[in-house]
């Protein structure tokens, strides 16, 4: 198998379906081009590093199998809102005549790990596996190119991903002993060297391919696979180390995932903006930019819980010093409580008649009415989140916003921030948390409008406690 295949063999199309997540817009990035394939965006400085088979004028190299140039490492810098510089090679120092990239860069931006063929200057080699190499940025030049200590020309080490602290490196490999074709492995940097690769295990790896891992600064590991239930051929998932094990992966849903193939996911700190690579345009693999598109809720107040429980008492009542008479509260149509004070919980808001009578215990008749009044119970005016207070890890729970009480406008759309970087819309939904903790759930509600100036909003938040299994 020739080197070109190692970058494209992982993209086949399988139809599937999951659910919709319409709070994000996903559009082809302004710097992207359908004239060639682009993969694996990585934040770097003021811009993006990515891998592409873009033809370069200064050195025209044609691959015999595909009729396309090999993959090189490119950089594009952001120059303003939705404005980008010209796409250029990241560095001639990181360029060979075979294949280079994808990459991962440390937090300081002065060390890069990248893919390269083991024989970088012979594209005709019949067996030319891919390994991981590193380089240092010194005085503006990438230098000190070194092979990764665990490279092995018998198998491939693809798609390196470095954690933000630089102490963990995850990659995809077809080394023997895995669960499928390409599995994810992790090495840790201990006492100046990388430990032996460890398989991420069956919670993450499947009988298919797990590819393009990327660490988020919050510790999550994003990757793509073609074997977990999803939407397209390759879907993007995330997992995280929880109590020593990798958690069950979570699908990012549409539109971040598509009916085709999606991989190489990166996002900012709060998961409101980022990039991914996809062939959803059905022509080439391109870089797509996603943005969270929700109204700004300037004031989000802590939810006040509706209380339908009351203690009824009447000023001026006396102790009836006889066994023949008793106070009786008549609450609504059916409730009867014989006491000077009565505790009662209604089922919900409404208008109720409250009476306090003196009852003849011998006949059961009302001797006279001590008090009579109407009670009107209303919910607090607010966006209202109905959900449990405490749940278990991986417990599927329902969240409902239909009890929102908004007098000034009719609820039209519901925007949820579930506290774990999950943003969805809908009046009700189901969700589970894969990690213990206290999460703040926010619900924003707007009206249905024809003009932006008519928009009305309400927002509330509450906490939910997620306990270990």
User: What is the residue-level pLDDT of the chain in tens, covering all 469 positions?
Assistant: 233 333 333 333 222 223 344 699 999 999 999 889 999 999 999 999 999 998 875 555 555 445 678 899 999 999 988 899 999 999 999 999 889 999 999 999 999 999 999 987 776 666 789 999 999 999 999 999 999 999 999 999 999 999 999 999 999 999 999 998 999 999 999 999 999 999 999 999 999 999 999 999 999 999 999 988 888 899 999 999 998 999 999 999 899 999 999 999 999 999 999 999 999 987 899 999 999 999 989 889 999 998 999 999 887 776 765 668 888 899 988 899 988 889 999 988 999 999 998 888 878 788 888 889 899 999 999 999 999 999 999 999 999 999 999 999 999 999 999 999 999 999 999 999 999 999 999 999 999 888 888 999 999 999 999 999 8
170, 214 Cβ separation under 8 angstroms: no
pTM of the model: 0.83
Q: Which residues contact 313 (CB under 8 A, 6 or more apart)?
A: 340, 341, 342
Q: Structural domains in the chain?
A: 5-292 (2.120.10.30), 309-377 (2.60.40), 380-467 (2.60.40.10)
Angle among Cα 385, 390, 391 to the nearest 5 degrees reads 105
Residue environment code for 323-342, b if the CB has 16+ CB neighbours within 10 A, otherwise e: eeebbbbbbbeeeeeeeeeb
Q: Work out the number of other CB atoms within 10 angstroms of the CB of residue 355.
A: 15
Q: What pLDDT does 66 receive?
A: 58
What is the rounded CA–CA span in Å between residue 61 and residue 85? Answer: 24
35, 87 Cβ separation under 8 angstroms: no
Q: What pLDDT does 322 receive?
A: 62
Residue closest to 418 by CA, chosen among 144, 5, 21, 18: 21
Residue closest to 161 by CA, chosen among 204, 198, 115: 115
- Following DSSP, what letter does each residue of 68-95 receive, concatenated? SPPPEEEEEEEEETTEE---EES-GGG-
Residue environment code for 6-41, b if the CB has 16+ CB neighbours within 10 A, otherwise e: bbbebbeebeeeeeebebbebebbebbeeebbbbbb
What is the rounded CA–CA span in Å between residue 183 and residue 203? Answer: 11
- Following DSSP, what letter does each residue of 140-155 receive, concatenated? TEEEEEEE-TT--TTS
Q: What pLDDT does 2 receive?
A: 32
What is the rounded CA–CA span in Å between residue 396 and residue 438? Answer: 16
109, 44 Cβ separation under 8 angstroms: yes
Q: Work out the number of other CB atoms within 10 angstroms of the CB of residue 50.
A: 31
Token pair listed for 403: 């009890």
């Amino acid at each position: 198998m020739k080197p070109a295949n190692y970058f494209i063999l992982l993209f086949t199309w399988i139809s599937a379906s999951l659910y919709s997540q319409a709070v994000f817009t996903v559009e082809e990035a302004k710097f992207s081009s359908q004239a060639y394939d682009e993969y694996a965006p990585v934040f770097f400085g003021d811009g993006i590093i990515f891998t592409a088979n873009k033809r370069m004028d200064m050195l025209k190299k044609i691959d015999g199998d595909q009729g396309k140039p090999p993959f090189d490492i490119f950089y594009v810098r952001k120059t303003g809102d939705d404005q980008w510089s010209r796409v250029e090679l990241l560095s001639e120092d990181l360029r060979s005549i075979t294949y280079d990239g994808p990459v991962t860069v440390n937090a300081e931006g002065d060390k890069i790990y990248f893919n390269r063929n083991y024989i970088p200057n012979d594209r005709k080699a019949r067996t030319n596996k891919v390994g991981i190499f590193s380089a240092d940025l010194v005085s503006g030049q990438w230098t000190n190119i070194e092979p990764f200590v665990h490279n092995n020309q018998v198998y491939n080490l693809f798609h390196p991903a470095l954690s933000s602290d630089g102490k963990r490196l995850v990659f995809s490999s077809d080394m023997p002993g895995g669960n499928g074709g390409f599995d994810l492995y992790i090495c840790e940097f201990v006492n100046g060297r990388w430990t032996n690769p460890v398989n991420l295990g069956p919670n993450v790896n499947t009988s298919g391919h797990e590819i393009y891992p990327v660490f988020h600064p919050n510790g999550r590991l994003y990757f793509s696979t073609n074997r977990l239930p999803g939407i397209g051929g390759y879907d993007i998932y995330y997992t995280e180390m929880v109590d020593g094990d990798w958690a069950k992966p979570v699908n990012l849903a549409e539109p971040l995932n598509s009916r085709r193939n999606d991989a190489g996911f990166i996002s900012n700190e709060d998961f409101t903006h980022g990039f991914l690579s996809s062939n959803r345009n059905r022509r080439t693999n391109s870089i797509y930019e996603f943005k969270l598109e929700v109204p700004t809720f300037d004031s989000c107040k802590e939810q006040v819980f509706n209380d339908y429980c009351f203690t009824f008492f009447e000023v001026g009542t006396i102790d009836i010093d006889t066994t023949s008479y008793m106070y009786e509260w008549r609450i609504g149509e059916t409730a009867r409580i014989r006491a000077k004070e009565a505790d009662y919980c209604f089922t919900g808001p409404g208008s109720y008649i409250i009476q306090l009578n003196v009852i003849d215990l011998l006949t059961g008749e009302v001797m006279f009415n001590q008090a009579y009044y109407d009670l009107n119970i209303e919910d607090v005016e607010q966006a209202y989140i109905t959900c449990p207070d405490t749940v278990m890890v991986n417990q599927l729970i329902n969240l409902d916003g239909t009890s929102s009480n908004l007098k000034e406008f009719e609820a039209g759309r519901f925007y949820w921030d579930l506290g774990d970087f999950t943003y969805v819309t809908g009046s009700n939904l189901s969700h589970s948390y894969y990690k213990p903790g206290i999460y703040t759930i926010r619900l924003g509600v707007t009206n249905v409008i024809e003009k932006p100036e008519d928009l009305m909003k309400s927002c509330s938040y509450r906490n939910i406690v997620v306990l270990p299994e």
